[in-house]
Amino acid sequence: METKEKDRNVLSRMKVAAAILWGALIVIAFFNRDKLTVESLSGLGRNGMLPAAGIMLVLFALKSISVFFYCGILYAACGVLFPLPVALTVSMAGSFVISVVPYALGRLLNENGVQQLLEKYPKLAKALDVRENNDFLLSLAVRACGFIPSDPFSILMGALGADPGQYLLGSMIGFIPDTLAYTIIGQNIHDPSSPCFLALMATKAAAIVLWVGCSRKKKKEKDDI
């Protein structure tokens, strides 16, 4: 009972800290909204790319402990702030951060914490049904499809002691379509209908179809047993 309460406190403190930090950022952005234009953001990236990249990675870290915030916004912001090669580098570094931070936090949880996650996010249990000791393929599929919230999945994989190499490699590859697509949206914020973007969206759609097919096949195999 004491351990269960400890796990709940860890998760609650993470959420409260993230909410406070995001709230402060929103307040700052509100009072400086007249300065937050595409042109001013682009100038920030050109005039100080290293500090801007550091700020973006901090935002990615904050996102990784706040499920409510969508990382696609941060990828697009990288596209606005930096030239394309730098934007893609910072976005991929951000993908690394949002993979590692919640995974590391998940290592603090025990069985009770895992059960709480599964109860709150039932789709996580479905993901575990197709795991079959292959953390690489599971991580790749979850990231590429986006059916399951990214951060709870990362926490769960950490709590279950998933192989860090397989988990991280699968996550980084699986994040590529979204990373490229949203970064390119940021680069072409006035015209998001570029052929490259449409091709990336088609890749994501194919990944979703593959995930659904594998899930149904696995369910059918279980029903036949």
Q: Which range is least confidently modeled, 44-48, 105-109, 183-187?
A: 44-48
Distances (CA, A) of 18 to 105, 130, 152, 211, 219: 14, 31, 15, 31, 37
Residue type, 30: F
- Whole-number average pLDDT of the chain: 75
Residue range 154-179: mean pLDDT, rounded: 91
CA distance 188 to 47: 20
Instruction: Calculate mean pLDDT across residues 22-43.
Output: 53
- Element spanning 1, H or E: none
Structure confidence at residue 36 (pLDDT):
46
pLDDT tens-digit map of 95-119 = 999 999 989 988 887 777 788 888 8
Lowest-pLDDT range of 34-48, 65-79, 132-146, 195-209:
34-48
What is the rounded distance in angstroms from the CA atom of residue 76 to the CA atom of residue 131?
A: 31
Helix (H) or strand (E) holding 45: helix 38-47
Please tell me whether the overall predicted TM-score, pTM, comes out greater than 0.85 for this model. no
3-state secondary structure of 82: coil
Return the closest-CA partner of residue 118 out of 140, 85, 149.
149
Question: Residue 91 pLDDT more than 70?
Answer: yes
